[in-house]
Structure formats: structure tokens, C-alpha cells
Structure 1
Amino acid sequence: MRGGRHVAAVSDASFDLAAGECLALVGESGCGKSVLASALLGLLPGNAQTAGTAVVDGIDLLAADERTLARAVRGRRVGLVPQSPAAHLTPVRTVRAQLEETLRQLAGTPRAELRPAAVAAAGRASFPVDLLDHYPHQLSGGQAQRAATALALVGDAPLLLADEPTTGLDRDLVERTADELRRHTDTGRGLLLITHDLAAAQRIADRVAVMYAGRVVELTAADRFFGAPGPRHPYARGLLAALPERDFAPIPGMPPELDALPDGCAFAPRCPLRSDTCRAVPLLEDGVACHHAPRPHAAEEAPRA
């Protein structure tokens, strides 16, 4: 809610996620990526979510009550690597204590095995073992990120939501963290990777969903997105072109405020292809929501949506 009015932070974000698959959700800050993750786990205020369904392992997360979410969903069916890990770690307990408690609650680890299991869990996320007895305030941002990742991986949930899991990490740790998350999917679990780091997405994603102003505007296979033929939505093409290793050409203009979206296509004011047709909101069809985007050839497999 802004200025006493309801604002739609996410208004059209439809996709599926198969077992063993990594879907990377990318887009500029403020487009609704983290709001979507919070909604899936019931972490938004009660009046924030007004419609939609999100079914995981037979449970509609958006319709579940708090008891179901707390006892059957969070950590067990859906794990979360939060965007702000320091705010999600318990400040008065050491990392070791939090790992051991999570192992006991989610994995049923016997008390006698908790200590070595906590060391192993830390190792999965490249968290330094010599910092296990530190409190969250004693950790750097990158260390807190790795601690949160270790906690999220403990439950081996069928679905893992990783919200900017590589923030604050150097490139070597980014690659190690991304590879560990990829191994999570190798055991048949799904991964929704929410990230600004397109290099990490390219490294481990099977498909890419691009969000703009609360909507998914492109959904395609990762190899097509990062390789040939490349993205079809002009915003998605702009994201890639802005990378230093590519054209380093920023997208002109600024993302719109969610309470002042233009009529029709929200990207139209920044789009080089805009026309009168863009006054109508484009629907996601054949994996792209754009009136001017090229459609796949009949021989190409249309992406799932």
C-alpha cells in the first residue's frame, strides 16, 4: 500500500518449475522478484496477496494458513535463502547452534550426530568451520550469506527459493555457491534462483524468467537466452547488452513507479520498438509478452509457462 492506495507489486507472474530444474528469475531492483518469494512463503502482511495460486507438493501456498506454512511448508517443502541474511539469523545464537537446531528439527539428526552434521552443513555452503561459534553480528555480509545458505540447504526441501544468494561474495565463492545450489537440483529438487547476477544464472539455470514492473515478460530456455538466438523481449535484450562483457550499453530511462505505471506495456516508454500497439497490455504468449517480439519458428519447442 502506498499513499493509502493498494499497489500491485506482482500482477502477472505465471510459470512452473519441474523437479530437478533451476529457473532463474531476473530483472531490475523493484520489479517484484523478492515480493514474489515472500508471497510464496506467506511472509507478506495478510492483506497483501489478493489472488493467485502456487501449488508445491500438493499444497496451495497462497491459500495455506499460518499453521500449515509453519509446520509443513517452511523449511520442509520450501526452503529459503533470504535476500538479507543478517536480518534472518537469530542474533543471540551462534551459527553452530542455529545449524544444529535446524538439523534436529528438519532432518531429524540424532543429538550425538549434530556436531559433525553441522560441520558438514557449513561445508556445503563454503562457510568457514572456524566461524561456527560466532554470532551473526561477528560475521561479514558474505559470511552471513553463506550461513543462511547452509541453513536453507539443511532440510533438502523439494523447492528452494534462493533470493540473491551470491550477494557480497567474491567471484570464486559466487561460483562455488552457484555450483552447490545446482547440486541441490541434481537430486531432483527444484530451485528458483532470484538474482541480478546474470553470470551465476548462466552458470546453473535451465530456464530464465525475466520480470519487469511486476510481470513476467519473457520465459525461455537458458541456452537460448544467453546464446543463440538470444532473448526476444527488448527489455531482456537490454539487460544482456548492459553487461560489461557485452555491449555495456545501459537501458535508457528508469523503471516506472508501481503506483504510476503507464497504460498498456509498462516498458513502452523505454522501448525502441514502441508503437501505438503498445497501448494494450501484451500477454505472455509463446514465452514472450511483447507486441513486436519475434515469435518462435514452428519447429522450435515453445517454452513452458
Structure 2
Amino acid sequence: MPGGRRIAAVTDAHFDVTAGECLALVGESGCGKSVLASALLGLLPANAQATGRASLGDLDLVSADERTLARTVRGRLIGLIPQSPAAHLTPVRTVRAQLAETISALTGVRGRAAVRAATESAAVRAAFPLGHLDRHPHQLSGGLAQRAATALALVGDTPLLLADEPTTGLDRDLVEHTVDELRRHVDGGSGRALLMITHDLAAAERVADRVAVMYAGRIVELADADAFFGATGPRHPYSRGLLRALPDRDFVPIPGMPPELGDLPDGCAFAPRCERVTNACAALPPITGTVACHHPHVPEGIRARPEEDIRA
């Protein structure tokens, strides 16, 4: 709340992630994706407030106290691959020591040889080189720190894995290895789920079952991944702009810049950048079905409502 102002970083975030599913949450920097992740784990700054309900089984994560979050949720019910892994690794301990401690705490593996074997197996799973296990975090590149954080997050095989930009600093081969390993976390009838926050739409296409698109703190579209990335395409103009900006598509950037969360317009936040804008966009669009837009794109063969019957 800079200067005493209250800023809504995330609003209208309605979605679910079911067992065996990967939901990719995408959007430009500053739209609120990481704030949402922090809210789920009770990691918001002290001056921040979260309201609503986020259910994990019978537990409401939003109202849970710190003791419950620390002893029951973090690492046991929800694993986290953080956006800034170096800041989450203990600086005075080697990667091996941190992995071994996590393995002992979460899996019950005991004995020096067994823990060592499990530690090296966890490193291989995240493509972390065994020759670097005895290094401290400050001795790692950004990509290696990312892989160390991924190895730590995967140890507990948690019911929900929350991966916040898990491919940052990785080359394309390692991106594919990482997202494939994340996909294996939810496959095979394990009952586990993955919420992946990412800028990397190619990674999202490779791993996701559904895609949620966030703009200016609001989820504006929720779509099946095959339709979103396929011939049907997304319905919200912002979502379509994200895809068009990819190098292997039109490579055309979305004009303009996202608004400041503390200075949002009264109506549709995307309207100043949208090629489909009309007077109706001066009002906040309702969430209709799976898209929050006055003038969403309509797949061919489906008749539009009168207010949707416009062309880009």
C-alpha cells in the first residue's frame, strides 16, 4: 500500500486445478501471477492482505495460520519452485546438504548411503550435475540455481506443485527436460497436480492441459490447451496477442504497455491496447463462461451473440 493507498494486485482469480492436471498461468510481467502464488503459500509481505478461499482438500490456504502453513502445507502438501531460486537456497550450505536434509525430512529415508543415493537421484531428476552438488548457492549460475530449486521442490512428491517460472535461465533442451519432468509429476494416476506460472508459452504448450491468462491482476481467459494453442485459438484479444507475439508465429508485439495496478481504468484494463475496443469496453467486462471480454473472438461455426459480432 504505497503512500497509504490500497492496491488490488489480484482480483477475480477463479480457477481450479484437479488431480492429474497441469494448469499454466500466463501473462506479462507485473500482472499478478507471482503474487497469486505467494498468497497460496502464505508468503505475501506483512502489509499485504489476502481474501477469498483457496481449498486444498478440507484446508483453506487463505485463512490457514503460519504454524499450519509451515508444518503441514509448505513442502508437504504444496511444493514450490520459486521465481528467484537463489534467494530461497540457504547460502551457507551446499546443494547436497540441502537436498539431503529435505529428503530426510519429507521422505523418511535414513542412513548415510541411502540418503546419498536419494540425493543424487533427486539431482539427476532435475538435470542438476552431480559434480556441482558440493557447491554453495553463490557458486552456481542462474540456470544451475533453478535446477537445484527444482530438485528440492520435487523431493516431496507433493499433491500440488507450484512452479513459478521454472524454466528461467535454461537453454531449450533443459527447458524441455524440466517441463517433461514436471509433467511426470502429475501423470500416471499419482493424484498430483501442477500449477505452472510462466512467460514461456512454448513450455506451456508442451506441458499444460489448460491455460489461464492473467492481465492486470485478473484472469481474463481459461481455456483448454489444445484449443488455445491449436486451430481454434484463444478467445480474448489479449490472449491472441500473446500468441501472435511468438517468434514462430506472427512475431508481432502487442502495442502499448500494461497499466499500473494502482491506476487501472474503470472498464476493461486491456481496452487501450485492444484492436476490438468499442464504447462497451468502458465498463468492466463480466466473466462469461471462460472469457472476460465484451467482444471475444468466436470460433468458426459458432454463432456469436450480437455484442460479439465484430471483426478484428
Shift of 1:47: 4.3
Question: Does the Cα contact within 8 Å between 2:50 and 2:62 map onto a contact in 1?
Answer: no
Instruction: Give per-residue Cα distances to partners, 1:260-290, cap 9 Å, x unaligned.
Output: 1011110011111111111111122211000
On the 8 A contact 1:57/1:77 being kept in 2, the answer is: no
Stretch of structure 1 that moved more, 283-292 or 216-225: 283-292
* Residues 287 and 293 in structure 2, CA contact (< 8 A), matched pair in contact too: yes
Task: Give distance in 1, aligned partners of 2:63 and 2:150.
Answer: 27
Structure 1 counterpart of 2:22, one-letter code: C
Show structure 2 runs of 5+ residues with no match: 304-312
Q: Which residue identity lines up with residue 207 of structure 1 in the other structure?
A: R
Distance 1:6 1:122 in 2: 43
Q: 1:97: Cα distance to partner?
A: 0.4
Q: Within 2, Cα distance between the matches of 1:133 and 1:12?
A: 45
Alpha-carbon contact 1:13-1:215 (below 8 Å) kept: yes
Map 1:60-71 onto structure 2 (within 5 A): 60-71=60-71
- Secondary structure, in 3 states, of the residue corresponding to 2:3? coil
Say yes or no: does 1:191 pair with 2:206. no
Distance 1:109 1:178 in 2: 26
CA distance in structure 1 between the aligned counterparts of 2:15 and 2:47, rounded to whole angstroms:
23
Residue of structure 2 in register with 1:82 after alignment: 82
- Give deviations 1:14-66, integer Å, cap 9, x for gaps: 10000010000000000000000001000013441241110112210000000
Alignment of 1:243-282 (within 5 A): 243-282=246-285
2:19 maps to: 19
Change (3 A) 1:211 1:170: same
| Counterpart position of 2:171 | 170
Please give the alpha-carbon distance, in whole angstroms, between the structure 2 residues aligned to 1:193 and 1:257: 24
Contact 1:209 1:218 in 2 (8 A): yes
TM-score, normalising length: structure 1: 0.96
Correspondence 1:217 to 2:203 = no
Pairwise CA distance, 1:226? 0.4
1:181 aligns with 182
Amino acid of the structure 2 residue aligned with 1:12: D
Aligned to 2:210: 207
- TM-score, normalised by the number of residues in structure 2: 0.93
Kept in 2, the 8 Å contact 1:216–1:284? The answer is: no
Q: SS where residue 157 of structure 1 aligns?
A: coil
Q: How far has the Cα of 1:95 moved from its partner?
A: 0.3
3-state DSSP of counterpart to 2:23: strand
Please tell me whether the aligned partners of residues 104 and 111 of structure 1 are also in contact (alpha carbons under 8 angstroms). no
Counterpart contact for 1:2–1:259, Cα < 8 Å:
no
Q: What does 1:1-305 correspond to in 2, within 5 Å?
A: 1-112=1-112, 113-186=114-187, 187-294=190-297, 297=302
Give 2:176's aligned amino acid: E
Deviation string, structure 1 residues 194-251 (Cα, Å, up to 9, x no partner): 0000000000100000000000000000000000210000000000001111101100
Q: Match for 1:279: what amino acid?
A: A
Greater shift, 269-278 or 83-92, is seen at 269-278
Q: CA deviation at 1:163?
A: 0.3
Question: 1:234, 1:293 within 8 Å by CA — same for their partners in 2?
Answer: yes
| Letter matched to residue 54 of structure 1 | A
Cα offset, 1:4, TM superposition? 1.9
What is the count of residue pairs matched by the alignment?
298
Contact 1:230 1:237 in 2 (8 A): yes
Rounded to whole Å, the distance in 2 between the matches of 1:294 and 1:163 is 29
| Partner Cα distance (2:173, 2:25) in 1 | 22
Q: Which residue of 2 aligns with 1:303?
A: none
How big is the shift at 1:188?
2.5
Question: Structure 1: which 5+ runs fail to align?
Answer: 299-305
Deviates more, 1:47-56 or 1:240-249: 47-56
* 4+ residue segments displaced more than 6 Å: none
Q: Distance in 2 between matches of 1:175 and 1:3?
A: 43
Tell me the distance in 1 between the aligned counterparts of 2:4 and 2:298.
41
